[in-house]
Amino acid sequence: MAKFNVTNPSGFPEFGPAAEQKRQAWLHIISRSFQSFGFIPITTPVVEREENLLGKGGNAKEMYVLKRLLDEEGDPSHSGNALRFDQTVPLALYVARHQNEITFPFKRSVIGPVFRGERAQKGRFRQFDQCDIDVIGMEKLSLLNDAQIPAIIINIFKALNIGAFKVRINNRKILTGLFKSLNIAETQMKATLDIVDDLEKLPREKILATFTEQGFNQAQVDKILEFVSVESRDFEILKTLCDHEEYLEGVSELQTVIEALEAMNVDQDSYIIDTSIARGLDYYTGTVYETSLTDHPEFGSVCSGGRYDDLASIFTGKAMPGVGISIGLTRLFSQCLEAGLISPDRSSPTEVLLIAADEVALPSLLSLGSNLREAGIVAENYLETKKLAKQFDYADKLGIPYVIVMGEQELSKKVVQLKDMKTGQSETMDIQAVASNLTQRA
Amino acid sequence: MAKFNVTNPSGFPEFGPAAEQKRQAWLHIISRSFQSFGFIPITTPVVEREENLLGKGGNAKEMYVLKRLLDEEGDPSHSGNALRFDQTVPLALYVARHQNEITFPFKRSVIGPVFRGERAQKGRFRQFDQCDIDVIGMEKLSLLNDAQIPAIIINIFKALNIGAFKVRINNRKILTGLFKSLNIAETQMKATLDIVDDLEKLPREKILATFTEQGFNQAQVDKILEFVSVESRDFEILKTLCDHEEYLEGVSELQTVIEALEAMNVDQDSYIIDTSIARGLDYYTGTVYETSLTDHPEFGSVCSGGRYDDLASIFTGKAMPGVGISIGLTRLFSQCLEAGLISPDRSSPTEVLLIAADEVALPSLLSLGSNLREAGIVAENYLETKKLAKQFDYADKLGIPYVIVMGEQELSKKVVQLKDMKTGQSETMDIQAVASNLTQRA
């Protein structure tokens, strides 16, 4: 014992029985929602060439390379590979490999692990499941796709049932157009977007100081702050705030997206226009999304994404616009567990435990177990030779709702005792009647 | 384009739309079967400490360690970790960590990736999903668990529907007892088991030569070959072949397992006693399993496992016997794809594609799409501005079975055209009737 340190390596998720069953229920909800809109699941490799990952934004400080502990052969196929850090670069590579077989627009979904060698920190994972959907067009892609994305996300968050949430929607052209109209230089655009992105997180003085650092004059700062304070679905007002072409294009695109959401009858309390969100990432060029839990702003954005003009031209040589969104499943699930938003109820999928009061009843119970499973009931035979109290204890500890007991007496009469573990009540019933009785109770 | 090599790194699975949907159906079958017997899913970390993996049989030549491409900080939590190469060592570590919370017998299931840095070779994966179930007892574990394992496997292989298969069952005590009775030394046991394991794969002369190499006399060789030729459920005959205590214990255990399988009404054509199988791995001590596809012996054993006395005493200091089995999902799935045993039928989950003949019908189609999804139908709106023929082409290429078309005329009458893509027949129907009509067709 003393020889081995069996504690968990930092940052790699482990989920025990109760949590894992909830996590699988989440996975089911997410993949079912993705598919219900016609998104096509694919598996992309977890490993890609280092240079391909670095070429699309990989951070060498966080990227994990794979090396064998003992590498005697010097097999070149073992060198130069690294673990993916997101689901987007593998999508770009997948599209580059298969562009001639793919039917565009390509609506792909993916759920799987990504790896980031971040600093060890509570709540930070070095491996986590990322659930992504993207629609990729060949050269063009209708703006209506930008409306479908939040519709799906709203579906999912309603089904997850972790409290009120809001999908915040914006269009980056609104911000970039506004900045251009204020003569904010192209080179300052990125910094300005980053400040706007931080508006909610930082105190006002700090924002003003940062703007001053960037050399903005008071008129520019006032206009930006006035603008981002607008939070409205009234596009007629938005259109009066600035007359820059790019700005007006952004407003018009946003209006199309919102109108499509309305046409899809999406619950209007679940989304909102928020002209302050910009998303830090360089590659978003139009619609952007963030999602927050109303009662847990400290979680940050739990689901983000947007529209981009160029998925993979460095790999494909072709313009492929896309729009997508990503749920950081492992982080969100862990946050919800910790905040008590998920209450794992039982530690076993078993619906009924079959217990032998005398060993002679075991073969009949084995047969009954098979029959119940065939009837779609999760039935588990207790197989150890233990006292009855110990067997009930097992059902109790795992939260199994029903127990069937059979001893010599019951065997001779072809009956069982069926006990409801919640009420504590038992009833005797014919062995042939058990399956239909349990099915009715479920 | 010339700059980047976008081909797949060797050994890491990638599945496109059609295959991936089948793969997910497999995953669903497997996890549902595991759970139907009360097996509890858990997530164990994909990364563990190198010394823990090496301490339980890890092969340094195949073990992948994780290093960051650029490691400036020298954060010690980034060193000394490696990717798991199976699901058993992570289970042992999980049990060591949580032995005080676990309710024994612990029936755990796990489905997830493992990593092995093997030589690049067709059909060899360096990362693959392994689906495992194990029952772990605290100090003791009933032999009946050894019968439950093949019952589950038979369930799964029937549901996978990839042709006839056989689960071969044996008990290693039969072989080790026999060898002891023939005065085959303890030190030769392993080598002898390996030869027996190879019996089917090698020609008889080669086997004889190997036996001679090992220094066996003719009487010993004859007895071994006579014995392994027996393939029978007649335990009374088996009991007469050798009177060694360990041999007889093995026969008796095997008989108990087979009788329990009969009590569970498990299809007797799906399993067979095969006294020649031994499984190479050192740690099996009793029941052993192999599974082969009748028409594809070249696949080898597609699902193997057995009983072991000691899961994790090096980590826990306690005797914990277990019995388990493993499906190498990625390999089996790829073999089946290649052999044509799986025929992916369509490239999209979409059941009905909604097409606008005129743009003015789009909002109504968006609304109809939402209604259909709410009725449980996988409904996809085609959102691009394309000619009707191109839109139908999309449905065709993805194998979508139904298409709904709405133009200006249909919009004004509140009807749609519903086209069955297989028969080519269209019918006009009230927009309100579409959901129930499609539900009936499914």
Q: Mind listing the pLDDT tens digit of every residue in chain B (442 residues)?
A: 447 899 999 899 999 999 999 999 999 999 999 999 999 999 999 999 999 999 888 788 899 998 888 877 677 777 889 999 999 999 999 999 999 999 999 999 999 999 999 887 777 899 999 999 999 999 999 999 999 999 999 999 999 999 999 999 999 999 889 988 998 876 777 777 777 777 777 787 888 888 888 888 888 888 888 787 765 667 888 898 899 999 999 999 999 999 999 999 999 999 999 887 877 656 899 999 999 999 999 999 999 999 999 888 889 888 899 999 999 999 999 999 999 999 877 899 999 999 999 999 999 999 999 999 999 999 999 999 999 999 999 999 999 999 999 999 999 999 999 999 999 999 999 999 999 999 998 7
What is the rounded distance in angstroms from the CA atom of residue A83 to the CA atom of residue B83? 12
Of B3, B45, B126, the CB nearest to A9: B45
Would you call A263 and B67 a contact, using CB atoms and an 8 Å cutoff?
no
Q: Which amino acid is at B350?
A: T
pLDDT score at B224: 81
Of B12, B21, B366, the CB nearest to A45: B12
What is the rounded distance in angstroms from the CA atom of residue B136 to the CA atom of residue B91? 10
Chain B residues touching residue A31 (CB < 8 angstroms): 24
Would you call A105 and B362 a contact, using CB atoms and an 8 Å cutoff?
no
Chain A residues touching residue B68 (CB < 8 angstroms): 60-65, 117
State pLDDT tens for residues A206-215. 888 888 888 8
A357, pLDDT greater than 50: yes
Chain A residues touching residue B23 (CB < 8 angstroms): 43
Of B10, B49, B371, the CB nearest to A77: B10
* Whether the Cβ atoms of residue B288 and residue B324 lie closer than 8 Å to each other: no
Token pair 């409205």 is found at A232
Chain B residues touching residue A259 (CB < 8 angstroms): 363
Chain B residues touching residue A29 (CB < 8 angstroms): none
| E strand or H helix at B352 | strand B352-356
Would you call A46 and B265 a contact, using CB atoms and an 8 Å cutoff?
no
Would you call B367 and A43 a contact, using CB atoms and an 8 Å cutoff?
no
Of A13, A151, A265, the CB nearest to B43: A13
Would you call B314 and A348 a contact, using CB atoms and an 8 Å cutoff?
no
Other CB atoms within a 10 A radius of the CB of residue A14 amount to 18
Question: Percentage of residues in chain A with pLDDT exceeding 90?
Answer: 70
Chain B residue with Cα closest to A364: B263
Would you call A362 and B55 a contact, using CB atoms and an 8 Å cutoff?
no
Min Cα separation A311/chain B (Å): 14
Min Cα separation B175/chain A (Å): 26
A280, pLDDT greater than 70: no
Would you call A69 and B52 a contact, using CB atoms and an 8 Å cutoff?
no
A268, pLDDT greater than 70: yes
The neighbouring-strand residues paired with B82 are B48, B65
Would you call B14 and A43 a contact, using CB atoms and an 8 Å cutoff?
yes
* Whether the Cβ atoms of residue A108 and residue A139 lie closer than 8 Å to each other: no
What is the rounded distance in angstroms from the CA atom of residue B208 to the CA atom of residue A221? 90
**Average of per-residue pLDDT across A179-198:** 78
Q: Which amino acid is at B401?
A: P
State pLDDT tens for residues A207-258. 888 888 888 888 888 888 878 776 566 788 889 889 999 999 999 999 999 9
State pLDDT tens for residues A413-426. 999 999 999 999 99
Chain A residues touching residue B141 (CB < 8 angstroms): 384
**Average of per-residue pLDDT across A88-101:** 95
Chain B residue with Cα closest to A350: B38
Write out the two tokens for B155.
């369930």
Chain B residues touching residue A23 (CB < 8 angstroms): 43
What is the rounded distance in angstroms from the CA atom of residue A157 to the CA atom of residue A133? 15
* Whether the Cβ atoms of residue B327 and residue B109 lie closer than 8 Å to each other: no
Write out the two tokens for A164.
């009120």
**Phi and psi for A41 in degrees, rounded to 5?**
-75, 140
Chain B residues touching residue A369 (CB < 8 angstroms): 264
- Confidence at A1, pLDDT banded by 50, 70, 90: very low
3-state DSSP of chain A: CCCCCCCCCCCCCCECHHHHHHHHHHHHHHHHHHHHCCCEECECCCEEEHHHHHHCCCCCCCCEEEEECCCCCCCHHHCCEEECCCCHHHHHHHHHHHCCCCCCCEEEEEEEEEECCCCCCCCCCCEEEEEEEEEECCCCCCCCHHHHHHHHHHHHHHHHCCCCEEEEEEEHHHHHHHHHHCCCCHHHHHHHHHHHHHCCCCCHHHHHHHHHHCCCCHHHHHHHHHHHCCCCCCHHHHHHCCCCHHHHHHHHHHHHHHHHHHHCCCCHHHEEECCCCCCCCCCEEEEEEEEEECCEHHHCCCEEEEEECCCCHHHHCCCCCEEEEEEEHHHHHHHHHHCCCCCCCCCCCCCEEEEECCHHHHHHHHHHHHHHHHCCCCEEECCCCCCHHHHHHHHHHHCCCEEEEECHHHHHHCEEEEEECCCCCEEEEEHHHHHHHHHHHC
A73, pLDDT greater than 80: no
State pLDDT tens for residues A145-179. 999 999 999 999 999 999 999 999 999 999 889 98
HSE-CB of A169 using CA atoms within 13 angstroms: 31
Buried b vs exposed e over A227-237: b needs ≥16 C-beta within 10 Å?
bbeeeeeeeee
Min Cα separation A215/chain B (Å): 34
* Whether the Cβ atoms of residue A345 and residue A386 lie closer than 8 Å to each other: no
